[in-house]
Amino acid sequence: MTEGAAAARGDMQPARDGRADGTRPSGGNGHEFDLPRIERAVREILVAIGEDPERDGLRDTPARVARAYAEQFAGLRQRPQDVLTTVFDADHDEMVIVRDIEVYGTCEHHLVPFIGVAHIGYIPNSKGQITGLSKLARLVDIYARRLQVQERMTSQIADALVDTLEPRGVVVVIEAEHLCMTMRGVRKPGARTVTSAVRGAFRDNNVTRAEAMSIIYGRH
């Protein structure tokens, strides 16, 4: 029996956050993550492009793709509050910046990857509270692991930081190469898209924004 058939019958051990029928809990959007349904859809795609889904190299591909999608789109079942709940009273009132956070996203227009880095900076709130540095990287993952466009993702990360941490300022810059421009269409490998979102002090104060950009691009 293939892994796909086993999953459809519920004979496989469910993933840690999964269920016996292969579905995963919804992420607040009212929809389950349905592994067996994805497998059936991938099989149909293979047939539609003229492939034989029963040949040796493709027999387990639908199940593999379903499991990969569960990982790639795990952000649909997470909220920013899940990773930004831990704060520390550090009495810190200067900017904090984390550069070069790896980003692996999926473009919602062609379902192909975009790959790059995110830079996040914030000025702590009036209480001087900070969050763990790894939490910023996890926040990027939450929004990258969804069907996305880079422009929206940049703003979502910035707004999540504002809403959860209430900092005095936030800056988010994302640089990424989109395979929808590299492997198809215009086919321009190496072209990188840069997007930014600034909030609070970084938007209102030119000097503060310039200092942050200088640090982000290594000119400080």
Confirm whether 119 is a catalytic residue: no
d(CA 216, CA 138): 19
Instruction: Name the active-site residue from 107, 119, 148, 156.
Output: 107
Pairing of strands 169-178, 113-123: antiparallel
**Which residues are 173's β-sheet partners?**
119, 196
The answer to whether the CB of 109 falls within 8 A of the CB of 180 is yes
Please give the distance of CA 141 from its chain centroid, rounded to a whole number: 4
Confirm whether 180 is a catalytic residue: yes
Q: Where are the beta strands (DSSP E) in the chain?
A: 23-24, 33-34, 87-89, 96-107, 113-123, 129-131, 147-148, 169-178, 193-200
Q: Which helix (H) or strand (E) holds 106?
A: strand 96-107
Give the C-alpha distances (Å, rounded to integers) separating 208 from 109, 171, 175, 195. Answer: 35, 10, 21, 18
Instruction: Name the active-site residue from 110, 129, 175, 211.
Output: 110
Confirm whether 109 is a catalytic residue: yes
Confirm whether 72 is a catalytic residue: no
Instruction: Name the active-site residue from 3, 175, 180, 211.
Output: 180
Confirm whether 150 is a catalytic residue: yes
Instruction: Name the active-site residue from 102, 108, 151, 220.
Output: 108
Confirm whether 31 is a catalytic residue: no
Instruction: Name the active-site residue from 81, 109, 151, 220.
Output: 109
Confirm whether 220 is a catalytic residue: no
Instruction: Name the active-site residue from 72, 78, 150, 156.
Output: 150
Residues annotated as part of the active site:
107-110, 150, 178, 180
